[in-house]
Amino acid sequence: MKAAIVGGGVIGGGWAARFLLYGWDVAVFDPSPKIGSQLEAILTNAGRSLPALADVPMPPRGKLSLVASIEDAVAGADWVQESVPEDLAIKHKVIAEIEAHAPARAILGSSTSGFKPSQLQEGAQEPGRILVAHPFNPVYLLPLVEIVAGAGGDVAARDAACDMLRSIGMAPLIVRQEIDAHIADRFLEAVWREALWLVKDDVATTEEIDDAIRYGFGLRWAQMGMFETYRLAGGEEGMAHFIRQFGPCLSWPWTKLMDVPELDEELVDKIASQSDAQSGQYSIRELEAIRDRNLVGILRTLKERNWGAGKLLNESDARLAERARSPAGTGDADAAPLRLLESTVLPAWIDYNGHMTEFRYVQVFSDSSEVLFRRVGMHDEYVESGFSYYTAETHNQFYDEVGADEPYYTTVQVLLADPKRLHVFFRMHAAADDRLLATLEAMYLHVEMASGKVVAAADAATEKLMALAELHAALEKPASAGRFVGQR
């Protein structure tokens, strides 16, 4: 798949990074002489942060091309993203050139934060494939993208666009009616207006306003949004009670939503000087790195709870895992330890020492055991029928260090198998040179889940496991099998 990015600034560069990291080839056109260094900075941040959200391997990174024209950028593209300045005349000119050279199949998305699709579609040859695809900065981390097709849009093209966006980990929000500034920016503008008045009237500084957001309602909004947050505020009686109790406040003169303070030089200087005092000790690149690390932490916490944007990340992991699922062994019935997983060390697995952290080894071997069980016919249906192997005892040993993005593979040697027990020895190796990284010895007991009792496994699975044990009996027994902690 190929994406063409027309306009490679902060937003266009963010789009390029997301597409690249999800395995798309990307061509970028931007006449700025600084485009190369700008993209390099964005891709560096993105490469550090987006893969840290995944708990499965990301696809191989796509190829990035900086090209000299829109025609070169859109050649062979499946998706074209326009991210030029918010000037309708410029956008019309760029869209016309895109249409003149892009393949008929290509979706044409605009990053516009304010224009409606009907405005973008004026004079277009194929208005149906032109839609608003409005993302949020940083595009490579924040999943929301507002999709507006408008009355002239093609529903099939819109739905195809949403599928493509989900494939790169985004959350397309279909805006059902055209409206200026779509949905999210209307909220932002309301808060921004009020913040400007608070600064102008010396009620609060820029830092105090930011503190009110990041220490208060911003934390609630990050994981529950507005209406779910207010539902809780209504207590046991819910949303209806909240509205009845607090609705009258809306007619009180608390805010100045429709008034805009004059942005004269005095107010601009006031805001700029306060902002310098608040954050001037950091460069823009440092602030971006701080922002990205914080977002990764928040998003991973939500991911652990399968809530909000975290639920989306888990769904993205499932799609990536399905695409990259390794075959469960070669199927050769030989005496060698059975090869199971083939994967890479994920950035999220790295600790403060720059190496794979301890509990991730257990995860690798747990995933290896799942591959083994699937190989002998114990798929999800087997567990759903009420039976499973439970871990009774394990012992890890660590031999060598491994870093982010290094490929590895695992093997298993079956030491004992009978209808109720399975004794195995896993090894994890670096794929580049076969170095032994770690081992796990494990004893599993076959359990009827409803009663919690150890029972005999299904004959078909037992026969396959016992056949492997018989084959592996010819192998040299691992020197550390049966070893206890501290034994020499």
Check whether the bond before 138 is cis (ω within 30° of 0). yes
DSSP 131-181: EEEEE-SSTTT--EEEEE--TTS-HHHHHHHHHHHHHTT-EEEE-SS--TT
Neighbours of 461 (CB within 10 A): 21
Q: How far apart (Å, rounded) are the C-alpha atoms in residues 350 and 323?
A: 24
Residues 52-83: pLDDT tens digits?
Answer: 898 888 889 999 999 999 999 999 999 999 99
Say if residue 328's pLDDT is above 70.
Answer: no
Side-chain half-sphere CA neighbours of 472 within 13 A: 22
CA 7 to chain centre: 23
Say if residue 448's pLDDT is above 60.
Answer: yes
Per-chain mean pLDDT for the chain: 91
Main-chain phi, psi angles of 119, to 5 degrees: -70, -40
pLDDT of residue 330: 40
Q: Pick from 462, 481, 478: which is nearest to 470 by CA?
A: 462
b/e string for 94-103 if b means 16 or more Cβ within 10 A? bbebbbebbe
Say if residue 254's pLDDT is above 80.
Answer: no
pTM (2 decimals)?
0.78
Main-chain phi, psi angles of 26, to 5 degrees: -135, 130
CA distances (Å), 223 to each of 219, 227, 311, in order?
7, 11, 11
Query: Which DSSP symbol is given to 33?
Result: T
**327 pLDDT band (50/70/90 cuts)?**
very low
Question: How buried is 378 (Cβ within 10 angstroms: 0-12 exposed, 13-18 middle, 19+ buried)?
Answer: buried
Q: How far apart (Å, rounded) are the C-alpha atoms in residues 299 and 214?
A: 15
Residues 6-65: pLDDT tens digits?
Answer: 999 999 999 999 999 999 999 999 999 999 999 999 999 999 899 989 888 888 999 999
Amino acid at position 19, single letter: F
Residues 405-415: pLDDT tens digits?
Answer: 889 999 999 99
CA 17 to chain centre: 12
Say if residue 120's pLDDT is above 60.
Answer: yes
Amino acid at position 70, single letter: I
Residues paired with residue 2 on neighbouring β-strands, in sequence order = 25
**331 pLDDT band (50/70/90 cuts)?**
very low
Location of structure tokens 């950035």: 347
C-alpha distance across the termini of the chain, in Å: 54
Domains and CATH numbers, the chain: 2-181 (3.40.50.720), 185-281 (1.10.1040.10), 326-472 (3.10.129.10)
Say if residue 334's pLDDT is above 70.
Answer: no
